[in-house]
A and B are shown apart, each in its own frame.
Chain A
Amino acid sequence: MKELFLQHAFLITTAVKCGLLLFIVLTVLAYLTWFERKMIAHMQSRWGPYRVGPHGLLQPAADGLKFLFKEDPTPAGVDRLVYFLAPALSLALGLTTLAVIPFGPEPIRIFGYETHLGIADLNIGLLVLFAISALGVYGIALGGWASNSKYSLLGGLRSSAQMISYELALTLSVVGVLLLAGSFSLRDIITAQEGRMLWGILPRWNILAGPAPQILGFLCYFVAAVAETNRAPFDLAEAESELVAGFHTEYASFKFAMFFMGEYANMIAVSCLATIMFFGGWISPFPTTPAWAWTYFLPSVLLAGFGLFVIWDGVHYETLFGKLVLPGVGAALCGLGALFALVPPVTSYIQGPFWFLTKVFVFLFIYVWARATLPRLRYDQLMSFGWKLLLPVSIANVVLTSLAILKWGGQ
């Protein structure tokens, strides 16, 4: 058993990691839709999904079943190959981007074989990410073209023009980070941000750290990335007030769901990348000195606190189902919190992934927040914003960062 494992350790661990990541990501994608609907609803003084399960928690499962069993008509006159290829491409590329993301610093040891969190640790990780997301436009553009419908075609055209325009700003906005880190490897980019500055008050994340704080770079990156993922306020490719549903008008059932999941996977990838490049990845915002050792228990405190709240809420829930399920979920969360606090190796191991995922979650929240708050841009505004503001600012950021590194020295 042990020999067999060690012989094929790389293959086995990679396959297991792929399966595990796929399972986790697909679940997270499903609950991201729930989170988004719930958040937007509360920001607009509504309740959001409430009927299926307590607090609508089973809504994603119901949606999934609906997508699977709905009729899937193919419109007349479509280019069949491209029509079927487009949603698959969209989902596959969206999920592939997540393969190069490192989720934590410490390796896991199985029988003495070390394996890192995250599937592939490439020395050109950032470039691979950009290469895959650069191909992502085809899913949308081809889907719009192949549907043989004017709304879809207009949506596809808009999206390809938008993605060509914003990709330049997106790529240039990260050059500053690359200059500071001196590497394309995502792991190296994170480790280059370790340490403290200003007498140990602030972490040395790229967004703050000298010689060149990447504030401009981050703003350019995030705006361009929201545009690249076709999310509000840049969702002109599926502007429902003008184009019915844009590029996916003619798609139903699971093919629509594939577009949907591809978009959400891209959102997660963009949030991960923002975390890695500008906010220190898995590095905790608190110092590592003994006086701050209590921050190691923050994950447990947060989990257990949330679990207690869920129990309290469940006891007061209207339906019997909720009265039974919610306290159970709360107890499970409390148990997880206790596990994180009481087993020392686990406590230290989850620090990296905890901070990483927390930061990613913040960016996902900002995505939802922007969608609930900002009105959609007009098409000419979108183009002039991208070319006349975002691109020059990101080029200026490259020049300023280079000058700062030349003057005060980089890594």
Chain B
Amino acid sequence: MTPHLMLFFVLAALAVGGAVSLIVASHPIRSALALIVVMVALAGLYLLLGAEFVAAVQIIVYAGAIMVLFVFVIMLLNAGEEERTNVSRLAGTAGIPLAVALAGFLAAAVARSTPVTATGAAAQGAASTRALANLLFREFVYPFELTSFLILVAILGALVLAQREK
């Protein structure tokens, strides 16, 4: 087992464990903390694939900014422990077969995929900061600008909603 593979399994276990405890935890703050663990573990996985910029941005934007807002709102609203309810009938009947099907598809995809090391080496070139910038600002500049326009519209919408009270 190479160190890379060992690191991968550690990070994957962290991500999956974090995701499970995100659902299982009864307190919203604990759930938010579990989500932060998932984000950081994902950043580690990106690092293993040689995508340093994406990894750093993942932590800065998701773990460092968006999750801070989540935690802030949970603290501000003083959200308490969640109450447990019985599992809904729809989730019981439709959820389990769907979960099994998803697991099957994933397993089939993993079984058919090429070894990790080959794709990792290939991704290294495309995922460097410079290559990423070239992709974003040369090849896909119009979709990129359109996305930022969308975000601007969303910000304006939030502003209008917040100002309506006055």
The interface residues of chain A lying within 8 Å CB-to-CB of B56 are: 124, 127-128, 130-131
A157 and B75 contact, Cβ closer than 8 Å, known pairs A123-B52, A135-B64: yes
The interface residues of chain B lying within 8 Å CB-to-CB of A171 are: 60
The interface residues of chain B lying within 8 Å CB-to-CB of A356 are: none
Q: Do A167 and B65 have beta carbons less than 8 Å apart?
A: yes
The interface residues of chain B lying within 8 Å CB-to-CB of A164 are: 65, 68-69, 72
Q: Do B57 and A160 have beta carbons less than 8 Å apart?
A: no
Contact with A along B27-56 (1 / 0, CB 8 A): 101100100100010010000000011001
Closest Cβ–Cβ distance, residue A177 to chain B (whole Å): 15
The interface residues of chain A lying within 8 Å CB-to-CB of B53 are: 124, 127, 184
A-side interface mostly:
helix
Q: Do B64 and A145 have beta carbons less than 8 Å apart?
A: no
Contact residue among B29, B33, B68 (Cβ-Cβ distance under 8 Å from A137): B68
Whether B14 is near chain A, meaning CB under 8 Å from some CB there, is: no
Whether B63 is near chain A, meaning CB under 8 Å from some CB there, is: yes
| Number of A positions contacting B (CB below 8 A) | 28
Whether A79 is near chain B, meaning CB under 8 Å from some CB there, is: yes
Closest Cβ–Cβ distance, residue A117 to chain B (whole Å): 22
A157 and B59 contact, Cβ closer than 8 Å, known pairs A124-B53, A124-B129, A134-B64: no
Residues from 146 to 198 in A contacting B, C-beta threshold 8 Å? 153, 156-157, 160-161, 163-164, 167, 171, 184
Point out which of B63, B69, B71 has the most chain A C-beta atoms below 10 A from its C-beta. B71
Please name the residue on chain B nearest to A154 by beta carbon. B75
The interface residues of chain A lying within 8 Å CB-to-CB of B162 are: none
Q: Do A135 and B72 have beta carbons less than 8 Å apart?
A: no
| Number of B positions contacting A (CB below 8 A) | 23
A138 and B68 contact, Cβ closer than 8 Å, known pairs A79-B29, A145-B29, A160-B75: yes
Closest Cβ–Cβ distance, residue B81 to chain A (whole Å): 10
Q: Do B72 and A127 have beta carbons less than 8 Å apart?
A: no
- Docked complex Cα distance between A171 and B59 (Å): 14
Whether B87 is near chain A, meaning CB under 8 Å from some CB there, is: no
Q: Do B68 and A160 have beta carbons less than 8 Å apart?
A: yes
Whether A261 is near chain B, meaning CB under 8 Å from some CB there, is: no
Please name the residue on chain A nearest to B59 by beta carbon. A131
Contact with A along B55-88 (1 / 0, CB 8 A): 0110110011100110110011000000000000
- Docked complex Cα distance between A147 and B1 (Å): 44
Q: Do A141 and B71 have beta carbons less than 8 Å apart?
A: yes
The interface residues of chain B lying within 8 Å CB-to-CB of A128 are: 56
Q: What are 25 A-B residue pairs whose CB atoms fall within 8 Å in the complex?
A: A79-B30, A81-B30, A82-B30, A124-B53, A130-B56, A130-B64, A131-B43, A131-B63, A134-B60, A134-B68, A135-B40, A135-B63, A138-B36, A138-B71, A141-B68, A145-B75, A157-B72, A157-B76, A160-B68, A160-B72, A164-B69, A167-B64, A171-B60, A184-B53, A184-B129
The 10 closest A-B pairs by CB, nearest first: A134-B64, A127-B56, A131-B59, A124-B52, A160-B72, A131-B60, A145-B75, A131-B56, A134-B60, A124-B56
Known: A79-B27, A142-B33, A164-B69. 14 other contacts (CB 8 A): A124-B53, A124-B56, A127-B53, A127-B57, A128-B56, A130-B56, A131-B64, A134-B60, A135-B59, A135-B64, A142-B29, A142-B71, A153-B75, A157-B75
Interface residues of B (CB under 8 A from A): 27, 29-30, 33, 36, 40, 43, 52-53, 56-57, 59-60, 63-65, 68-69, 71-72, 75-76, 129
